[in-house]
Amino acid sequence: MIQSFTIIEAKQKIAAGEITSKALTEACLERIKKQNGALNAFIQISETALKEAESIDVKRAAGGQELGVLAGIPIAVKANMLAKGLKATAGSRILENYVAPYDATVVERLRAAGAIILGVTNMDEFAMGSSTETSHFGQTHNPWNQTKVPGGSSGGSAAAVAADFVPGAFGSDTGGSIRQPASLCGVVGLKPTYGRVSRYGLMAMASSLDQIGPFARTVEDAALLLQVVEGDDPKDATTVAGGDTTVAELISEDVAGLRIGLPKEYFLEGMDERIRTSVFQAVEVLQQGGADVHEISLPHAEYALAAYYIIMPCESSSNLGRFDGMRYGYAASSGRTLMETYERSRGEGFGSEVKRRIMLGSYALSKGYYDAYYKKALQVRMLIRRDFDEVFKHVDAILTPTSPSVAWNIGEKFDDPLTMYLSDIYTISANLAAIPAMSLPCGFVDGLPVGLQLMGRPFGEETLFRLGKHYQTKTDWHTKRPEKNV
């Protein structure tokens, strides 16, 4: 099945003339046609994908033109990223028929590299969720077991890669929304350093936390995707010049001498012992490769979840103020006054989880509560960041589980927001500290994937790739596919 190739494998086979871009794209589209009805990973498929693939094949056959590093490779993007001509709904009714008028910087760079934007993937509404159950377009199912959630909010992208719909995809990560679904779906997911990848054209959730990143089947593929989209962008003032240093082909798999920290706060009682076992087996693999592993402490980690669920709703409530039913998106037709139209448009257009977070954020920002909640949360965030700064004086990377559990049943946590929020307990700190973090497969529990999380210094993605590449050369978890292992 050619749609099962990794990005690097597909590139090599296309270059060698063994397959064409059109054949690869057709295989992906055929698989989506057969299985997306059951998984609901894609919201929309591009109608021009095959023509784009044929065009690349023609250019390759003619020769004389330098093609991009992703020429002819199908890639999917999350529904909160603008891809000109495709719907950009953010999984919400309020944007149900909104068509992107321009490309996000990430999409622009993918197209410039020759990638084919195959379609947009499902997500929790406005990225607010950890299970891809809050989408207006229906829930996404986990390819390993369709009664389970794929994680969220980028569950559609993770499921699309796990199900061999596409060899690579992009999501956004505000508190774990790339890494957690990558863990639950058994693929690689990277949240880059804040500022390494432009957010221009991404629908903002929490602007100081959001970051776009790739899903792939291997660490090398994830590095290649980062290489294409990273770098300074004049359209996003938070991007950092000089951050574009990834060269996927030059990643070493030698981990001898690398210092890895295991934070004791992440390995307390309550974790599934089978997940603990999988993670420590991964530690042994890295130790056998020469890595130095020892216990560390992140003393303010216990406050990360509380700080996040103040900062994120505050920024979200501010960002979502632009969706008023006046300029674009859904508008209620029965309002007698302007204020009533606002209220009804938002009341009917937003789902329950979005409304919950808007109300939490608006309350925390209101007069008399700003200092007690938002300001205090920002102070805690600084303490968390200082913890990481101190630890990284002594270690090169931090290793933890990605998720405290494997994928759970659809509906199991849907009506219990606190329990749902706890599913991000291991991933949130990286966003608060603005550091890179990656999840990769490291085992199975009850036939469902377990994820290993690696966190690094700001702009230290190369170290994460190095550790991940070594681990994947010594194990085969990343080669498993749902149809072979359910």
Residue 153 known to be catalytic: yes
Quick one: 83 exposed, middle or buried, by C-beta within 10 A (0-12, 13-18, 19+)? buried
Residue 177 known to be catalytic: yes
Selection from 484, 414, 461 nearest residue 162 by Cα: 484
Residue 422 near residue 305, CB atoms below 8 Å:
yes
Catalytic residue selected from 11, 21, 22, 78? 78
Residue 172 known to be catalytic: no
Contacts of 336 (CB under 8 A, 6+ apart): none
Pairing mode, strands 74-78 and 292-296 = unpaired
Q: How far apart are CA 253 and CA 309, in angstroms?
A: 37
Q: Which residue shows structure tokens 């490769």?
A: 289
Cα three-residue angle 47-48-52, rounded to 5 degrees: 155
Catalytic residue selected from 135, 157, 177, 278? 177
Buried b (16+ CB within 10 A) or exposed e, 173-197: bbbbbbbbbbbbbbbbbbbbbbbbb
Catalytic residue selected from 92, 130, 131, 153? 153
Distances (CA, A) of 433 to 41, 197, 378, 437: 30, 16, 11, 11
Residues recognised as catalytic: 78, 153, 177
